[in-house]
Amino acid sequence: MKIIISPAKKMNSLGSELGETTEPVFQERAKYLRSRLQAMSLQQLKELWRCSDRLAEENFRRLQEYEPGVCLTPALLAYEGIQYQYMAPQVFTQRQWEYCCGHLRILSGLYGILRPMDGVIPYRLEMQAKLSGEGYANLYEFWGSALYETLAQPGEWILNLASKEYSQAVEKYRTPDVPFITCVFGELADGKVKTKATLAKMARGEMVRFLAERVITRPEQIREFTGLGFVFDEKRSCGETLTFVKP
């Protein structure tokens, strides 16, 4: 079982105080992409990142100051978005950490795939960023089938808790022999399930914590999730899509 989630734009750097980290699977590819970013001007990066002047300047400075291999932060603790706040990995037990290290994977525009203890530096590069180069028109083409092939090991199944921006980098290459189960979180309105981005991020974080607390490894166990008042809706679930609603 592999659980895939999205990264967050907001990051921190905790340095070496947390001990030894592991090296990302696609470290060399990440270094290449970073060198591409370093070769761009501040204005070019602002257009690529589609952000404010303040954020562009902050991340431009990070490109100059942070070096791969120095002052690394474990990936699961480096991101500070809503999903990670509700997951609360800072208070995981040893068993929860071990579970996540074995099962949880973070998809990344820069690093491709990250395990919880993989060492990262602050960066900004969304998967949908229009970064092109020789042989690729965007990051989806750059990563190709590599992410899926890394995740889809024999006998594995994938639980998709990532946003569409990131999950499509994997789902596009899926093969019939690897179950690909997607969780949908929404509220009922006029008999239909309406998904709100912020609520979905909160639920995904809660789901990861739930999985780690229960040490869940079978698809049917996921249906027991009731975090934030969500309940499994069998009528609105079909195939490999599990729908959770707030009544």
pLDDT, tens digit, 9 for 90 and up, residues 136-194: 999 999 999 999 999 998 889 999 999 999 999 999 999 999 999 999 999 998 888 99
Cα–Cα dist 25/27, whole Å: 6
User: What are the C-alpha distances in Å from 101 to residues 141, 163, 168, 174, 199?
Assistant: 27, 21, 23, 23, 25
pLDDT for residue 82: 97
What is the domain extent for residue 129? 2-246
Low-confidence ranges of the chain (pLDDT < 50): none
User: What are the C-alpha distances in Å from 224 to residues 14, 220, 230, 231, 247?
Assistant: 35, 8, 10, 8, 15
Cα–Cα dist 97/147, whole Å: 23
pLDDT for residue 15: 65
Two tokens, residue 47: 């257009």
Q: Is 138 in contact with 94 (CB distance < 8 Å)?
A: no
pLDDT for residue 16: 53
pLDDT for residue 20: 85
Provide the number of structural domains found in the chain: 1
Side chain identity at 41, as an amino acid letter? Answer: S
Phi first, then psi: what are they for 126, rounded to 5°? -75, 155
pLDDT for residue 26: 97
Two tokens, residue 124: 């900004």
pLDDT for residue 19: 67
**What is this structure's pTM?**
0.96
